[in-house]
Homo-oligomer: A and B are copies of this chain.
Amino acid sequence: MNLNALGALKHKTSSQAVNLESIMHARERLDGMAIMTPLVASRFNPNVFFKCEIFQKTNCFKFRGAYNKISSMSAEELERGVIAFSAGNHAQGVALAAKLCETSALIVMPENCVREKFTATKEFGADVKLFGNSTAESFQYADKLAGKTGMAMVHPYNDPEVISGQGTVALEILEQLPDLSNLFVQIGGGGLLAGTAGAVKSINSKIKVIGVEPEGAAKMRTSLRNGYLTTIQNPRTIADGLRISSVGRLAFNLAHKYVDEVVTVSDDEIINTVSILCKSEKMVVEPSGATGLAAILNRKMNLSGKSACILSGGNVNFEWFRKIIT
């Protein structure tokens, strides 16, 4: 084996792992690109803090993982462009990251995606195709296209660079609130949970990390209870970003290692939390983004000390939003 090949192997190995080093490396890449979003204290409970990824570029944390992934690609990969599938927030993150890395992006979204997310993705300059009725169907189509075109897949969660990028959220939270006791993280494909849990537990293993899922899409809890990665049937929830049949394998492995507990919340609890965030906290948060806080507000855990949740995205459908802020 010559040195170049050894170098490539080492690089490959290192990029496969999600650990404090890979997350800190992601933070360096994101420096000056992602926004260090504010951590805001709740006006109604001084022990509750909001990490406001609604003020991130594309109004969602997803830009972090997408940019970390795409900016680590080789010139050759960038030449061919990137492809992704997404219910909408990863779509926008990939579209903007691709633009900043001067490569082209093709995004497959399900036909029933939130209109605002579709429009925004196009506005960031991506080529968007609507296909299927779920992200699983969009994935199959995107995967086929990737095979045909040679474009590199930017998976929304089952990718170490993507997970490491999402983990940077937790590095910032720990800087902003060093005496954090509990971190609540909602679970879609599990990338945000895996990355933040990895960061938090590597820095201070005493901090509790609690995953939060909608009752109708409890794929991580089911998997952890079964002890193996499990696909659930017909996930149903108002939180479109969390409406997924299965978490990623990498996320499952990391959650198994690092996450203290996974709790569930009902759609009514999520909707009520979106309304409270708007009316009392003056923030526009989509259902998926409000799910972590829903677990805090509805006392799904006995808590002591300071708790943070991640308001992960603000890309609501405003027709729906208007109805719930009565």
Quick one: which of B279, B282, B285, B314 contacts A54, CB cutoff 8 A? B282
- With beta carbons under 8 angstroms apart, the residue of B38, B285, B322 that contacts A325 is B322
Chain B positions within 8 Å of A54 at CB level: 282
Cβ of A51 to closest chain B Cβ, rounded Å: 11
Of the listed residues A55, A59, A279, A282, the one surrounded by the most CB atoms of chain B closer than 10 A to its CB is A282
Is A144 an interface residue, CB under 8 A from the partner? no
Q: Is A136 an interface residue (CB 8 A)?
A: no
In the complex, whether A283 has a CB less than 8 A from a CB of chain B is: yes
- Inter-chain contact B43/A57, CB cutoff 8 Å: yes
Q: Give the bracket for the number of chain A residues in contact with chain B.
A: 20 to 34
CB distance A55 to B282 under 8 Å?
yes
Contact pick for A326, options B35, B38, B278, B318, CB 8 Å:
B318
CA distance A318 to B52 in the complex (A): 22
Q: In the docked arrangement, what's the CA distance between A285 and B314, Å?
A: 15
Q: In the complex, A326 Cα to B323 Cα: how many Å?
A: 11
Chain B: CB-nearest residue to A318: B325
The answer to whether A203 has its CB under 8 Å from any CB of chain B is: no
Complex-state Cα separation, A57 to B282, whole angstroms: 12
Enumerate A27-85 residues with CB–CB distance to B below 8 Å: 35, 38, 40-41, 43, 52, 54-55, 57-59
In the assembled complex, the Cα of A322 lies from the Cα of B278 at a distance in Å of 11
In the assembled complex, the CB of A232 is this many whole angstroms from the nearest CB of chain B, namely: 31
8 Å CB contact of A282 from B40, B279, B283: B283
Interface centre among A54, A284, A285 (most CB of B within 10 A): A284
User: What are 13 A-to-B residue pairs whose CB atoms are below 8 Å?
Assistant: A38-B40, A43-B55, A43-B59, A54-B282, A59-B282, A282-B283, A282-B314, A283-B283, A284-B284, A318-B325, A321-B325, A322-B322, A322-B325
Extra pairs beyond A35-B41, A282-B285 (20, CB < 8 Å)? A38-B38, A38-B52, A40-B52, A40-B55, A43-B55, A43-B58, A43-B59, A54-B282, A55-B281, A59-B282, A278-B284, A282-B283, A282-B284, A283-B283, A283-B284, A284-B284, A318-B325, A318-B326, A321-B325, A322-B326
Q: Can you list the 3 inter-chain pairs with the closest CB atoms, starting with the nearest?
A: A38-B38, A282-B314, A282-B284
